[in-house]
Amino acid sequence: MKLILGPKLEGCLFCEKAREDNDKQNLILHRGSTCFIMLNAYPYNNGHLMVVPYAHVGNVDQLDTPVLTDLMLLVKRSVIVLQRAMNPDGFNMGVNIGKVAGAGIEGHVHFHVVPRWLGDTNFMPVLGETRLIPEPLDVTYDKLIAAGIADLTIA
C-alpha cells in the first residue's frame, strides 16, 4: 500500500532510481555495466524482476549490441538466481513496447522476468481484479541477495 498511496516520481522511474544511491529502498538487486536488475514494485508474481538498460530509450532497436548482450546476460543471471532462491516451475519473460502492448513505462524499454508456479493463478485477478502477493518485497529482495544475484559470475 505504501507504494500505491505514496508519492509518485516525476520523470522516468528507471532513470531516477538508477541515479540514486539507495539500492535496497529502490529495489535494485544488481548493477551491471550497461543495465541493472530490480524487483518490480507492482509484481505479477513473487520474484517479478525487471532488467533495465541505463540508456533511456523506448525500443530494443535503439540499443547497441553490447547493451543487448549485457541485458540478456542479466536475464540469464535473474533466471539462475530465481531458480536457486525460489524454485519456480517456469518463467514468463518479455518486453512490452508501446502502450497498446501493455508497457507501463513506455519511454524506457525493460525486460520482465516473472517466475511461475503450478497453480499460482486463481480467481482473484479474474473476478476481483486484484493480485495477491504473499511475500513482502523486502523479504524477496533479501532472499535474492542471499542467493547471489549481486555477485554471481555469468559466463
Span 68-112, pLDDT tens digits: 999 999 999 999 999 999 999 999 999 998 888 777 788 899 999
User: In degrees to the nearest 10, what's the CA dihedral of 94, 97, 100, 101?
Assistant: -10
For residues 128-145, give the mean pLDDT. Answer: 78
pLDDT at 115 over 80: yes
> What domains are defined for the chain?
12-19+27-146 (3.30.428.10)
- The pLDDT tens digits for 29-61 are 999 999 999 999 988 899 999 999 999 999 999
**pLDDT of 106:** 80
Burial of 56 (0-12, 13-18, 19+ CB in 10 A): middle
Extract long-range pairs of 23-32: CB within 8 Å, 24+ residues apart: 24/138, 24/141, 27/137, 27/141, 29/141, 29/144, 29/145, 29/149, 29/150, 30/74, 30/77, 30/149, 30/150, 32/70, 32/73, 32/74
Q: Is 108 a catalytic residue?
A: no
Query: Cell 551491471 belongs to which residue?
Result: 32
- Active site residue: 30, 108, 110, 112, which one? 110
